[in-house]
């Protein structure tokens, strides 16, 4: 297996498009549909300014009208609509994971089961196949539906290293009775990777995903990892995130050098109407062509700190804040509701 020719690209690799699976009244978004729609319109505008956008929705005519009030004709021409029934909106976890190979992109379709059978996902688990049927994408379809894997649970540096969490990949109702060793072997083969770095610590209150890596720590260019840091000993996250930070400090690059670590601030505590803490995290950013879309949470001080830290990791990208307060009410954020496709996929 030649890892240099077939690989899972890093998110900052040149992209063809980003997928959004649009919220609608038949989802859990119904009570806050107006607010979350504004967030999706902001996302669509930021993406269309830089690349193509694929929108999966059961009601494309309605969404097209909404977007026409927000976007120019030029940017509207960058949107492809897929009319597909959906359960929810988390494209990161039901979307394709795309490899680049000498014979073009390979579109890997893993099974999505609602984060360990917590939520109904029968329609979302069919989205990838329906997109292929509609000829939206270019690439060789690979059926991996016998294995549960969510895009938010893995990070790639584009050079053969995968970063993940043991809490998620070993969680109940994912791939039991497979052992960690068997899961690792499966991932290395499917993703054409050289190695996997397993984070054993780190969590966010209110998280439904069993600690997806994209809520905690992210690969960035030049052997850099940004991660959530908690400095308040009274915060419920302090102990776990301190242990996570220590483990990140022990990780080494493929050349056996320490990673450059850039801490991101712990977002202020956000709660729902019942007082439950919501999983606000600045690690849930999206890298697109020439920009990083960063979640903001109505906290100017921490939002500014997070932006300054991300500028260190991405000095040549625009950093664009998107208000994600509506997204965290359903326990996800900006990266969770998007999926990028590398160049050559459209």
Contact 313, 220 (CB under 8 A): yes
Joined together, the tokens standing for residue 192 give 């054409």
Range 34-62 average pLDDT: 97
Q: What is the pLDDT of residue 212?
A: 98
Q: How far is CA 318 from the centre of its chain?
A: 19
Please give the CATH topology (third level) of the domain spanning 15-342.
Answer: 3.75.10
Decide: residue 233, CB within 10 A, 0-12 exposed, 13-18 middle, 19+ buried. exposed
Residue 118 near residue 155 (C-beta atoms within 8 A)? no
pLDDT band at 2 (very low <50, low <70, confident <90, very high): very low
Q: What is the share, in percent, of the chain residues with pLDDT greater than 90? A: 97
Q: Please state the φ and ψ torsions of residue 15, each to the nearest 5 degrees.
A: -115, 150
Query: What are the tens digits of pLDDT across the range 65-121?
Result: 999 988 999 999 999 999 999 999 999 999 999 999 999 999 999 999 999 999 999
Prediction pTM value? 0.97
Give the pLDDT mean for 147-157. 98
| Mean pLDDT over each residue of the chain, to the nearest integer | 96
Give the model's pLDDT for residue 157: 98
Q: Given this model, what pLDDT does residue 3 score? A: 45
Q: Say how far apart CA 109 and CA 95 lie, in whole Å.
A: 8
* DSSP 8-state class, residue 258: B
* Range 166-185 average pLDDT: 96
pLDDT tens, 290-313?
A: 999 999 999 999 999 999 999 999
Which pair of structure tokens corresponds to residue 316? 């040549």
Edge to edge, what strands does the sheet with 195-199 contain? 154-156, 161-165, 195-199
Q: What is the mean pLDDT of residues 277-288?
A: 97
Instruction: Classify 178 as helix, strand or coil.
Output: coil
1 pLDDT above the threshold of 90:
no
Given a cut of 70, whether residue 282 has pLDDT beyond it is yes
As a whole number of angstroms, the distance between CA 107 and CA 272 comes to: 37
Q: How many CB atoms lie within 10 A of CB 129?
A: 14
pLDDT at 7: 97
CB 91 within 8 A of CB 82: no
Average pLDDT over residues 150-164: 98
Question: What is the structure's pLDDT at 4?
Answer: 62
pLDDT digits (tens, 9 = 90+) for 201-258: 999 999 999 999 999 999 999 999 999 999 999 999 999 999 999 999 999 999 999 9
């Amino acid at each position: 297996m030649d890892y240099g020719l077939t690989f899972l690209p890093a998110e900052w690799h040149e992209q063809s498009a980003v997928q959004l699976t649009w919220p609608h009244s038949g989802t859990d978004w119904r009570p806050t549909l107006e607010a979350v729609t504004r967030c999706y319109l902001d996302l669509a505008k930021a993406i269309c300014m830089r690349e193509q956008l694929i929108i999966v929705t059961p009601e494309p005519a309605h969404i097209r009208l909404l977007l026409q009030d927000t976007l120019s004709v030029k940017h509207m021409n960058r949107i492809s609509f897929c009319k597909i029934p959906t359960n929810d909106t988390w494209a990161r976890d039901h979307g394709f994971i795309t490899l680049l190979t000498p014979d073009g992109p390979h579109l890997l379709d893993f099974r999505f089961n609602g984060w360990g059978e917590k939520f109904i996902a029968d329609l979302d688990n069919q989205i990838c196949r329906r997109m292929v049927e509609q000829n939206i994408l270019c690439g060789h379809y690979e059926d991996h539906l016998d294995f549960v894997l969510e895009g938010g649970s893995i990070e790639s540096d584009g050079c053969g290293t995968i970063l993940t969490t043991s809490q998620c990949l070993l969680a109940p109702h994912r791939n039991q009775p497979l052992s960690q060793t068997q899961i690792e072997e499966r991932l290395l083969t499917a993703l054409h990777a050289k190695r996997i770095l397993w984070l054993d610590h780190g969590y966010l209150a209110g998280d439904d995903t069993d600690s997806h890596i994209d809520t905690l720590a992210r690969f960035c260019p030049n052997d850099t990892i940004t991660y959530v840091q908690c400095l308040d000993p009274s915060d419920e996250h302090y102990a776990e995130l301190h242990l996570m930070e220590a483990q990140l400090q022990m990780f080494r690059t493929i050349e056996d050098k320490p990673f450059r670590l850039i801490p991101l601030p712990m977002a202020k505590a956000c709660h729902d109407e019942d007082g439950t803490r919501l999983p606000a995290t600045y690690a849930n950013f999206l890298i697109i062509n020439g920009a990083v879309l960063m979640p903001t949470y109505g906290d100017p001080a921490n939002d500014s700190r997070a932006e300054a830290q991300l500028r260190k990791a991405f000095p040549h990208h625009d950093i664009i804040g998107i208000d994600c307060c509506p997204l965290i009410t359903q326990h996800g954020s900006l990266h969770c509701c998007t999926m990028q496709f590398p160049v050559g996929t459209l």
